[in-house]
Structure 1
Amino acid sequence: MSRPIPDLCLESLTGETVCLRELRGRPVILSFWVTWCPACQQDLPTKDRFYRSLPTDAPLVMYSINVTGREVEPERVAPFVHQLGLALPVLTDKGRTAYDAFGLTSVPATVLIDAQGNIRGIFDETVPFVNVVAEAGKLLL
């Protein structure tokens, strides 16, 4: 699989705007999730530990994306992130815009993007995150 990423800009919980096209030049891991999903609740801390292990000048970019359009109570997202103590930056989807643009059908879902801005893999909750990291490592060679 290799197709260009959608041209999207998303806002972070801290008010920063992140445009996917501006991330070109480094591989990117995007993790889509919602608060009510038990698999997401298990998945996020693992991804957060990996994110925390990256040096500040890492050749890899990583964001999580809350699928706001699938949240029952979107106002619970910030308290949920605070409760988990996530350092992993959280972007908020505009409804389901990014989720649908990537063709996702479930959460958690992880999207791997190469440095040229092409989707190199979409992984659902059945794929261990260590496998995603291994695939991301191949993009760094």
Structure 2
Amino acid sequence: MNKRNFALAIVALLVGIFLVNLFQDQQEKKEKEEAAQLAKESMDLSNAAAEEGLSKGASAPDFELTTLNGEKVKLSDYKGKKVILNFWATWCPPCKAEMPHMQKYYEKNAEKENVEILAVNLTSMDDGKDKVQEFADGYELTFPIPLDVDGAIGEEYRAFTIPTTYMVDTKGLIQHKIVGPMNEDMMAEMVSGMD
């Protein structure tokens, strides 16, 4: 009787392990499909953005903002470089998830890929310059952080869901719009595909 109970317990354990593995495989497959769908949707510019002159191949609207470090930056000053133009806020969980990836990408690729990151803080929607500085220090961010104090640039770029990122080529033309967080691989793939 003990051998039979032991055998049944082993069989039950094996069936349980099989079912757990099957469930995990299905979850991973579902997550990968959802991520692929999100990436596909994000890479396509929305119709609303296209109506606002933010479609692929359009000139990225120029702006001038003051950075967290007190320097004035104009988007047009970066012609000749590829620009990752990111819109974010300190309270945004996906922005927090994305920032370490952006910093790592920037450290590895800024010079060799001729790319600049402009991480425009939507200061008008955020908790003040001190919080932005605290955030930048906490994540050890070294790329420029322009401050959109009145919200006009975020509105012009239709950054209503954040993070929102535009990939701008060396001629100042929009190549991609991404709504949601990116990782290093996504940034590398999009930047390498631009002139």
Question: TM-score, normalization: structure 2?
Answer: 0.66
Letter aligned with residue 73 of structure 2: V
Q: How many residues align?
A: 140
2:92 is the alignment partner of 1:9 = no
> Which one of 74, 84, 93 corresponds to residue 139 of structure 2?
84
Between the two proteins, what is the percent identity of the paired residues?
24
Change (3 A) 1:127 1:83: closer
Question: Which one has a larger percent helix, Structure 1 or Structure 2?
Answer: 2
Question: Which one has a larger percent strand, Structure 1 or Structure 2?
Answer: 1
Letter aligned with residue 170 of structure 2: A
Letter aligned with residue 76 of structure 1: K
2:160 is the alignment partner of 1:105 = yes
- Once residues 181 and 109 of structure 2 are traced to their aligned partners in structure 1, the CA distance between those partners, rounded to angstroms, is 24
- Once residues 99 and 90 of structure 1 are traced to their aligned partners in structure 2, the CA distance between those partners, rounded to angstroms, is 13
RCO higher in structure (CA 8 A, sep ≥6): 1
2:189 is the alignment partner of 1:134 = yes
Change (3 A) 1:55 1:38: closer
SS at match of 1:120: strand
Q: Which residue of 2 aligns with 1:114?
A: 169
Which structure: larger Rg?
Answer: 2
Q: Deviations over 1:102-123 (max 9, x none)?
A: 1222111111001111111110
Question: TM-score, normalization: structure 1?
Answer: 0.88
5+ long unaligned stretches in structure 2: 1-55
Contact 2:110 2:116 in 1 (8 A): no
Letter aligned with residue 117 of structure 2: M
Letter aligned with residue 131 of structure 1: M
After superposition, the CA RMSD in angstroms is: 1.8
Misfit runs of 4+, over 2 Å: 54-58, 72-75, 126-133
Q: Which moved more, 1:51-60 or 1:40-49?
A: 51-60
5+ long unaligned stretches in structure 1: none
